[in-house]
């Protein structure tokens, strides 16, 4: 049976995801640049991982036994930075420096700069192969950490993703979990128009993966799926998480025009309001 998660936990994590969305909006407004749509779609998944699922020690970001998270869709850096700061990897104050020269928070994640970032990403497609390498390394070291890789559905159009998928199945990497943030929107249009990735479940199954499908904005379903992953043996698992790009902000939802645009002050205020908060000074 999938673990029971109390209502209180679900509500707390869902609220936290909203708070992290608000933080991401503020960051992108301050920087007047970066990627909100794919940050807002990933917020619930990233919150569940960092505030419930993963073993971490923010005071010791390179603790050998930590679970690893790879943001393969590296352009969603704002939600990762908002989460890392909230989890205590670095001061929240630093979030204001997003994309500034010499900041530790560059437009795309840099593992040599930012505490808690496991992989330098941004060039789409590479996270799954690196994640498979980490998972294989864990096995060779007899270490118990797990590796989670978050991919965009548009990113799945990159052939190298499937090389990683083959490798993970060949080595039966049960300690590797891929999560597809399946919002059906990429940079300049719908994924189903530009280069369809369906049939999604059949593809991953054919590559030898265990597949789970869920609503990527339903915290209970996310936690249940992450629990179920741990009962799967001799195969990697992929969570196909159905999401909405720009989730929570009415004028951003499902629009590729908000893939990489910064809000005006009025739009920022409205977005934060719709996400249940008030703009801070």
Ligand X SMILES: Cc1ncc(C[n+]2csc(CCOP(=O)(O)OP(=O)(O)O)c2C)c(N)n1
* Residues lying near ligand X in the complex (CB under 6 A): 37-38, 41, 73, 75-76, 122-125, 152-155, 158, 181, 183, 185-187, 245
Q: Considering beta carbons, is residue 10 or 150 the nearer one to ligand X?
A: 150
CB of 267 to ligand X, least distance (A): 19
How does DSSP assign 113-165, residue by residue? Answer: TSTT--S---STT-HHHHHHHHHHHHHHTT----EEEEEETTGGGSHHHHHHH
Using N-to-C axis directions, what is the helix angle for 219-229 and 7-31, rounded to 10°? 100
Specify which residues 215 forms β-bridges with. Answer: 242
Output the smallest distance, CB 16 to ligand X, in A.
20
Q: Which is nearer to ligand X, 53 or 183 (CB)?
A: 183
State which residue, 40 or 84, has the beta carbon closest to ligand X. Answer: 40
Residue ranges of E strands in the chain: 68-71, 147-152, 176-182, 210-215, 237-242
| Least Å from the CB of residue 158 to ligand X | 6
Distance CA 116, CA 139 (A): 22
Which single residue is written with the structure tokens 């960092």? 50
- Choose between 105 and 252: whose C-beta lies nearer to ligand X: 252
Q: Report the helix count and the strand count for the chain, using DSSP H and E.
A: 9, 5
Give least dist CB 29 to ligand X, A.
Answer: 18
Q: Which is nearer to ligand X, 191 or 272 (CB)?
A: 191
Residue number with CB closer to ligand X (38 or 116): 38
Q: Judged by CB, which is closer to ligand X: 22, or 108?
A: 108
Q: How far is the CB of 197 from ligand X (least distance, A)?
A: 9
Least separation in angstroms between residue 78's CB and ligand X is 11
Which residue, judged by CB position, is nearest to ligand X in the bound state?
Answer: 152
Question: For residue 250, how many other CB atoms are within 10 A of its CB?
Answer: 9
Torsion, Cα 118 121 124 128, to 10 degrees, reads: -20
Determine the Cα–Cα distance for residues 35 and 148; give it in Å rounded to an integer.
Answer: 21
Shortest CB 190 distance to ligand X, Å: 10
């Amino acid at each position: 049976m999938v673990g029971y998660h109390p209502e209180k936990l679900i509500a707390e994590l869902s609220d936290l995801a909203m708070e992290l969305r608000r933080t991401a909006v503020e960051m992108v407004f301050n920087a007047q640049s970066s990627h909100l749509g794919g940050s807002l779609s990933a917020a619930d998944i990233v919150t569940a991982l960092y505030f419930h699922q993963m073993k971490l020690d923010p005071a010791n970001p390179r603790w050998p036994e930590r679970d690893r998270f790879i943001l393969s869709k590296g352009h969603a850096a704002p939600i990762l930075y908002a989460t890392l700061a909230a989890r205590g990897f670095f001061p929240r104050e630093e979030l204001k420096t997003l994309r500034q020269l010499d900041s530790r928070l560059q437009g795309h994640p840099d593992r040599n700069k930012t505490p808690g970032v496991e992989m330098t990403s941004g060039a789409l497609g590479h996270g799954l192969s690196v994640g498979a390498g980490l998972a294989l390394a864990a096995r060779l070291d007899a270490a118990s950490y797990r590796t989670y890789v978050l991919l965009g559905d548009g990113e799945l159009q990159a052939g190298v993703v499937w090389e990683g998928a083959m490798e993970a199945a060949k080595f039966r990497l049960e300690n590797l979990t891929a999560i597809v943030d399946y919002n059906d929107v990429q940079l300049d249009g719908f994924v189903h128009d530009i280069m369809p990735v369906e049939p999604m479940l059949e593809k991953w199954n054919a590559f030898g993966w265990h597949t789970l499908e869920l609503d990527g904005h339903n915290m209970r379903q996310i936690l249940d799926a992450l629990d179920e992953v741990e009962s799967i043996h001799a195969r990697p698992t992929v969570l196909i998480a159905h999401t909405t790009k720009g989730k929570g902000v009415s004028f951003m939802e499902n629009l590729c025009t908000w893939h990489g645009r910064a809000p005006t002050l009025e739009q920022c205020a409205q977005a934060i309001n719709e996400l249940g908060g008030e703009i801070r000074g």
